Amino acid sequence: MVGGGGGLPSEAGRAGGAFAALAEELKVRFRQGVGRPLSDADFDALACRAFEIQFDASPAYRAFCRGRGVDPGAVVTWEEIPAVPAEAFKRLDLVAGAPRDAERVFVTSGTTSSSGIRGRHFVLDLDLYRASLLPNFRAHVLPDVERPPLLSLIPAPAEAPTSSLSFMIGTVAEELAGPAAWLVDGRGRLDVKGFRAAAAEYGGAAGALLVTGTAFSFVHLIDVLRAEGCGAALPAGSRIMETGGFKGRARSVPREALYGAIEELLGVPRHHVVNEYGMTELLSQLYEPVLTRRDRADARPGPDEEVEAVAGRGVHVAPPWLRVRALDPVTLDPLEEGREGLLCFFDLANAGSVCHVLTEDLGAVTSEGVRLRGRVPAAEPRGCSRAMDEIMSAAEGRGG
């Protein structure tokens, strides 16, 4: 048992300097783009430096690692660095420095929480986040267009200051997009009239548009467009970045039905709908490479039979600075390629918090990328957590 207590100021100061130096190096590396691989040796070296900083600066993480008998001197590969469960972001301040020095604190949406408590991600350096998200977004969503107008079904950063997703889209708007229309407000209200107007105004120039949203915001949009009896056709080349829909939710949407409706009502074909997988606890994202793989001579449809054969569909690709393993759900032993388990990520963009994060999401890691699994419709949860969510929300509701 190791006592708690804050890190000594001198420790935090040293770690702060080391973090700043590492962050600058990482930004340079990230900005070179996702096409340049990181060798195992380079990744391990960066991972070990990040670990040392996090171990020194975060009392909670240090105590956890010591409890496992791991310290920076004993570690040479990223796999040996202890992974924290995503749940820990709800219970502890995981930050490689003083929490008060965070430039921003992102908060999880809490939709899948069984405890009712929201996770918090302290971000010491927003520029490091920007450096990670921009080249990855450009490579997978905008490989072939410059500064398309943006129609966002994700609230603007000013409306949702604690949302890491809003921050990401805000950054994309500033750095990669043309004029932007923000069509969902901070309370989740969708402005369909505004969507039609923006589609007409920006689409008039006949250039491709970029539309971003969660799967649920698209479902909502589709429902309204259908009810109004009239779609809103977007110009050729327009593309959609859609996120969510993979994690456990009360109402899951069959992707094929959603993509079919998008094609019908917005005129955007399936191979222009890019699914993003991300979470507040990770500052890097994964994408389905449908826009980048489709023109390749060796492109083959993924084996995901639930969606129409589109090259790149069914697998998500990580940038070189994010590595992922699937672990046995019970023993947490690493699984061989292709076997499904709990996804565990090591994200160098998380240098300012904790890089190694064990998630609740299931998937398999293959040479092509990560095959994610959502909830299995046939597996009715036995008694357990989903029902407990209801109980928790009932209890919260009464608590005010």
Residue ranges in contact with other proteins by CB under 8 A: 1-4, 59-61, 63-64, 66-67, 83-88, 90-92, 114-115, 248, 250, 329-332, 340-342, 358, 360-362, 375-376, 378-388, 390-392, 394-395, 398-399
- The span from the CA of 168 to the CA of 179, in Å, is 16
Strands of 180-182's sheet in order across? 180-182, 150-152, 210-214, 239-243, 273-277, 286-287
CA 303 – CA 313 distance, rounded (Å): 8
294: Cα within 13 Å, side-chain hemisphere: 17
Considering the complex, what minimum distance in angstroms separates the CB of residue 299 from other proteins? 27
The residue type of 197 is A
Handedness of CA 145, 150, 155, 157 (dihedral sign): positive
In whole angstroms, what is the distance from residue 337 CA to residue 369 CA? 10
Closer to other proteins by Cβ: residue 276 or 361? 361
86/28 Cα distance (integer angstroms): 28
Which CB, 88 or 262, lies closer to other proteins? 88
Element containing residue 167 per DSSP (H, E): helix 164-175
Q: Which is nearer to other proteins, 107 or 299 (CB)?
A: 107
Residue closer to other proteins (CB basis): 100 or 382: 382
Which residue, 298 or 380, is less far from other proteins as judged by CB?
380
Give the nearest distance from C-beta 115 to other proteins in angstroms. 7
Task: Kindly state the smallest distance separating residue 335's Cβ from other proteins, in Å.
Answer: 11
Q: Where are the beta strands (DSSP E) in the chain?
A: 84-85, 104-107, 120-123, 150-152, 180-182, 210-214, 239-243, 273-277, 286-287, 322-327, 340-347, 356-366, 369-373
Shortest Cβ 361–other proteins spacing (Å): 8
Q: Least Å distance between CB 114 and other proteins?
A: 7
Phi and psi at residue 326, to the nearest 5°: -105, 130
Closest to other proteins by CB, 32 or 393 = 393
Q: What is the DSSP letter of 102?
A: -
Smallest separation, CB 347 to other proteins (Å): 17
Nearest to other proteins of 43, 78 (CB atom): 78
Closer to other proteins by Cβ: residue 221 or 342? 342
Least Å distance, CB 91 to other proteins, is 5
Q: Which is nearer to other proteins, 200 or 387 (CB)?
A: 387
Tokens 């971003």 belong to residue: 212
Q: What is the dihedral of CA 312, 315, 319, 325, to 10 degrees?
A: -160
Nearer to other proteins, 44 or 361 (CB): 361
Tokens in use for 235? 């110009």
In the complex, least distance from residue 332 CB atom to other proteins, rounded to whole angstroms: 7
The rounded radius of gyration (Å) of the Cα atoms in the chain is 21
CB of 64 to other proteins, least distance (A): 5
Long-range CB contacts for residues 43-49, cutoff 8 Å, separation at least 24: 43/78, 43/320, 43/321, 43/323, 43/348, 44/76, 44/77, 44/78, 46/22, 46/321, 46/348, 47/77, 47/78, 47/81, 47/346, 47/348, 47/355, 48/72, 48/75, 48/76, 48/78, 48/81, 49/18, 49/22
Minimum CB–partner distance for residue 264 and other proteins (Å):
25
